[in-house]
């Protein structure tokens, strides 16, 4: 087994992650001797990753949700170690959608065993260069209603199993489409009222909503999904289709694959949803980075 460090986000899963880790550690003997850190914020996470790379760790096990994995992956890519250090994922967060795309077991004991012993495979990442924010992402970036959902979930003091569903229904009822322009691989592809625009590398967001069911995390392409103007009440009614991934043929939905996407909001918009985190929304260019990371995945 390669030399591994476990990074536990104590705020993941509504603040339950550290207690869950301690119980899991007691039940799995190989985990008892593992070095563990629990960085308190973004800056501490970045520093922990930097020190782990400098210290020669070959594997980082991320115990948390999509937001935790997002921070660790960004830190790895910033120091140029995305292909040198293997990422293991233990889905202990509220959403943990990338873990679904990677076929990580939902049982934490099985997920930890896989994260420690599994072989890393090449996984694409995305890079955003924006006027208001720049970042990397693994799963997806979305403009429109998804940012309101993130703000609502992240503000909840306790996040149960239905946190994303409740926040989504509330946001759908009050959000109004924002005009946006999207250029795809140098071509103007869409301009008009936009309820949601997602640049996806993984298949799902929002705890199991299969927004881009055909996306693959290792094919060198984004799946771009745009939902045009539609009433929020209709979207609430159609929400089961998104969970099932059968919404792509609906009238207000457009889908296209791309390597470079330029998005420009033409009016004030909610923040970007980025792997469950939020960043200020503004004109931005998204570029696929093929095989930028090595991540342990479950069997195909």
Which of 94, 118, 142 lies at the terminal end of a domain, its last residue? 118
Q: Tell me, yes or no, whether 148 lies in a domain.
A: yes
The angle at the Cα of 43, spanning 102 to 128, to the nearest 5 degrees, equals 55
Number of domains in the chain: 2
* Domain span holding position 174: 128-290
Q: Do the beta carbons of residue 214 and residue 249 sit within 8 Å?
A: no
Per DSSP, what are the bridge partners of residue 209?
A: 205
d(CA 266, CA 191): 9
Q: Can you state the angle between helices 17-27 and 108-117, rounded to 10 degrees?
A: 70
Same domain for 98 and 177, yes or no, is no
Same domain for 142 and 286, yes or no, is yes
Give the C-alpha distances (Å, rounded to integers) separating 244 from 65, 183, 204: 22, 28, 10
Token pair recorded at residue 175: 């959000």
d(CA 21, CA 17): 6
Which of 118, 142, 162 lies at the terminal end of a domain, its last residue? 118
Same domain for 71 and 132, yes or no, is no
Same domain for 209 and 166, yes or no, is yes
Same domain for 186 and 265, yes or no, is yes
Same domain for 169 and 93, yes or no, is no
DSSP 8-state secondary structure symbol assigned to residue 213: T
Neighbour count for residue 61 (Cβ, 10 Å): 24
Same domain for 244 and 175, yes or no, is yes
Q: Do the beta carbons of residue 181 and residue 261 sit within 8 Å?
A: no
Same domain for 38 and 172, yes or no, is no
- pLDDT tens by residue, the chain, 300 residues: 579 999 998 777 667 778 888 888 888 877 788 999 999 888 999 999 999 999 999 999 999 888 899 999 999 999 999 999 999 999 987 778 889 889 999 899 999 999 999 999 999 999 999 999 999 999 999 999 999 888 888 777 676 667 888 888 888 888 899 999 999 999 999 999 999 999 999 999 988 889 999 999 999 999 999 999 877 667 777 778 888 898 988 888 999 999 999 999 999 999 999 998 999 999 999 999 999 999 999 887
Q: Tell me, yes or no, whether 298 lies in a domain.
A: no
Q: Tell me, yes or no, whether 144 lies in a domain.
A: yes
Same domain for 25 and 149, yes or no, is no
Q: Tell me, yes or no, whether 207 lies in a domain.
A: yes
d(CA 6, CA 21): 10
Which of 93, 118, 143 lies at the terminal end of a domain, its last residue? 118
Q: Tell me, yes or no, whether 264 lies in a domain.
A: yes
Q: Position of tokens 């609502």?
A: 152
Q: Position of tokens 């929002």?
A: 206
What DSSP assignment string belongs to 63-130?
EE-HHHHHHHHHHHHHTT-TTTSEEEEEE-SS--HHHHHTT--SSHHHHHHHHHHSPEEEEEEEEEEE
Same domain for 64 and 39, yes or no, is yes
d(CA 59, CA 61): 6
């Amino acid at each position: 087994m390669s030399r591994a460090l476990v990074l536990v986000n104590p705020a993941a899963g509504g603040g339950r992650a550290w207690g869950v880790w301690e119980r899991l550690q007691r039940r799995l003997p190989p985990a008892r001797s593992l070095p563990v850190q629990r960085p308190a914020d973004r800056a501490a996470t970045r520093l922990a990753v930097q020190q782990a790379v400098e210290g020669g760790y070959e594997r980082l096990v991320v115990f948390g949700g999509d937001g935790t994995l997002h921070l660790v992956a960004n830190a790895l890519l910033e120091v140029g170690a995305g292909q040198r250090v293997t990422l293991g994922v233990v889905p202990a967060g509220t959403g943990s959608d990338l873990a679904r795309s990677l076929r990580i077991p939902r049982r934490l004991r099985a997920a930890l065993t896989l994260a420690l012993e599994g072989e890393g495979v090449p996984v694409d990442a995305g890079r955003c260069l924006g006027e208001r924010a720049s970042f990397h992402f693994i799963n997806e970036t979305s403009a429109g209603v998804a940012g309101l959902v993130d703000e609502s979930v992240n503000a909840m003091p306790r996040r149960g199993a239905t946190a994303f569903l409740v926040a989504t229904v509330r946001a759908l009822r009050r959000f109004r489409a924002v005009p946006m322009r999207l250029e795809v691989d140098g071509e103007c592809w869409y301009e008009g009222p936009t309820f949601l625009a997602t640049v996806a590398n993984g298949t799902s967001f929002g705890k199991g909503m299969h927004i881009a069911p055909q996306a693959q995390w290792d094919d060198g392409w984004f799946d771009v999904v745009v939902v045009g103007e539609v009433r929020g009440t209709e979207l609430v009614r159609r929400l089961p289709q998104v969970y099932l991934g059968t919404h792509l043929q609906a009238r207000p939905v457009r889908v296209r694959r791309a390597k470079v996407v330029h998005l420009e909001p033409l009016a004030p918009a909610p923040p970007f949803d980025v792997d469950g985190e939020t960043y200020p929304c503004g004109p931005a260019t998204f570029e696929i980075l093929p095989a930028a990371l090595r991540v342990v995945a479950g069997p195909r």
